[in-house]
Amino acid sequence: MRQDSERGDAPGEAAPARRSGSVLAVRGAALDIRFSAGALPRIDEALRIARDDAEDVLLEVQSHLNDDSVRAVALNATEGLRRGASVEATGAALTVPVGDAVLGRLLDVMGRVRDLGPALPEGTPRWPIHRPPPALARQSAATEMFETGIKVIDLLVPLARGGKAAMFGGAGVGKTVLVMELIRAMAEHYQGISVFAGIGERSREGHELLDDMTHSGVLARTVLVYGQMNEPPGARWRVGLTALTIAEYFRDAQHRNVLLLMDNVFRFVQAGSEVSGLLGRPPSRVGYQPTLATEVAALQERIASVAGAAITAIEAVYVPADDFTDPAVTAISAHVDSMLALSRGMAAEGMYPAIDPLASSSVLLDPSVIGDEHAALAARARQVLARYRELQDVIALLGVEELGTQDRQAVARARRLQRFLTQPFGVTEAFTGTPGRSVPLTETLAGCRAILAGETDDWAESSLYMVGDLAEARQKEDARRRKEAA
């Protein structure tokens, strides 16, 4: 049985004497390894298989089979391995390089440089990827708003500085684009360190992100850590811990604020399910691993803020078959402060970002945190949008003309507000030709207040679609009226 209390050595601890073993069996990414009796490596200890004709294979112990054998999971490719190959126990958990030397670099799960640049300097500090979360007494609450410049987020689902936000959505509704826009927008206003974890993502997306960050000049304050879709499940399973360890170093050793971005956390769960099957564990609900809740908690509970330094996490989460009751989705959502639900219906209507304001939630949407005016405007906006959604079936059957005066007014304002909350993104400018917009919170609140007060009731809905602030929408409306009058 796996003992969660058995972790790798913390920084500064003396490592035990190294021990050697041999490979008993190779089953894809899972290996059975025999050591001499009484010399078994601990759970989560790193093992190494040296090879002359290929890069060394790193493994992580996952279970003790008997008095002299362990089962381990490989973190890189195992092609060409044979039974009887010599295995060395490192005496500690897997360690990865941390600190200023990794800024501007692209690393893999084992901390090796993958950007074709020079090797990391000698003496670069290394930390183990298995570390306990900060003690509860050291943690600080997230009560300060993290302004993003994205209207629908800042108005209805505010993010917390030092908190955890997750974007949930099915395939093709805009999760990765939203993450990329947040990276771009925050780089302009946020001077901390950014750590990006690409968990099970496509190689193309990694190249695009590296190019975008290089051209925008923010790569010098960013660390990219990738465990891509084509890598073994062990790499995709542990790459989040590698990125988190790097973020923890900046928080704990340098007392700097860190922005941690993870895309896609569902792939972490998926990789854990593959590893669980390789280890021979019986599946649990919907075929997921029986250790799902423990694995998600081990990752999420380490994302915490302490006095003087914060880790702010923004995570993308794939929702299989758009089923928000999926066990993986519910396990992840239990740990976040702000939940952004992306709607396929809104994406189909062209309402980007396709964030469903009624299905999304945030712990910061409280008058004591964001102020009475903001809270009241957000509540009023939700009320109008909810009323519009209630009337949509009636409108589809009978038409909007059959509604009462108050309901017609609510529908008209809800549709205008819905369009005002759309926004062109800088990362999509190359495809749409429309420059991106970043809107200050004060302008977002002013625009929302004007729409709910009826100041735009005689405007065309199209004048409010894909604009920044209300002044830009007014210019668009004036241009439309001049064109009609001509």
Distance in angstroms (rounded) separating the CA atoms of residues 174 and 43: 39
What would the DSSP string read from start to end of 5-73? T--PPPTTPPPPPPEEEEEEEEETTEEEEEE-TT-PPPTTEEEEE--SSSPPEEEEEEEE-SSSEEEEE
175 flagged as catalytic:
yes
Quote the pLDDT of residue 448: 97
The residue with greater pLDDT, 214 or 266, is: 266
pLDDT tens-digit series, residues 14-41: 444 568 999 999 999 999 999 987 789 9
pLDDT over threshold 60, residue 8: no
Distance in angstroms (rounded) separating the CA atoms of residues 66 and 397: 68
Quote the pLDDT of residue 187: 67
Share of the chain above pLDDT 70, in %: 95
Is residue 248 within 8 Å of residue 311, measured between CB atoms? yes
> What is the rounded average pLDDT of the residues 240-263?
94
Three-class HEC string of 227-285: ECCCCCHHHHHHHHHHHHHHHHHHHHCCCCCEEEEEECHHHHHHHHHHHHHHCCCCCCH
**Exposure b/e, 361-393, CB count within 10 A at least 16 = b:** bbbbbeeebbeeebbebbebbbebbeebeebee
243: nearest Cα among 223, 266, 263: 223
The residues facing 85 across adjacent strands are: none
202 flagged as catalytic:
yes
What pLDDT band is residue 6 in, cutting at 50, 70 and 90? Answer: very low
Distance in angstroms (rounded) separating the CA atoms of residues 416 and 419: 5
Distance in angstroms (rounded) separating the CA atoms of residues 126 and 135: 22
What is the separation of C-alpha 124 from the centre of its chain, rounded to a whole number of angstroms? 27
**Which residue among 202, 285, 389, 481 is the active-site one?**
202
Is residue 125 within 8 Å of residue 99, measured between CB atoms? yes
Q: Which residues, 6+ apart, have CB-to-CB distance to 295 below 8 Å? A: 268, 269, 272, 289
pLDDT over threshold 70, residue 10: no
Q: Which residues, 6+ apart, have CB-to-CB distance to 420 below 8 Å? A: 151, 447, 448, 451, 464, 467, 470, 473
Question: Parallel, antiparallel, or unpaired: how do β-strands 30-35 and 69-74 relate?
Answer: antiparallel
Is residue 335 within 8 Å of residue 164, measured between CB atoms? yes
Q: CA–CA distance from 458 to each of 409, 416, 439, 478, 484 (Å)?
A: 11, 10, 24, 12, 15
**Which residue among 60, 181, 201, 315 is the active-site one?**
201
pLDDT tens-digit series, residues 208-229: 778 877 777 778 888 999 999 9
pLDDT over threshold 80, residue 429: yes
Report the predicted TM-score, pTM, of the whole model to 2 decimal places: 0.90
Q: Which amino acid is at 286?
A: V
Quote the pLDDT of residue 144: 84
> What is the rounded average pLDDT of the residues 469-483?
95
Radius of gyration of the chain (CA): 25
Is residue 351 within 8 Å of residue 418, measured between CB atoms? yes
pLDDT over threshold 50, residue 1: no
Structure tokens at 299: 């990752």
**Which residue among 42, 164, 175, 419 is the active-site one?**
175
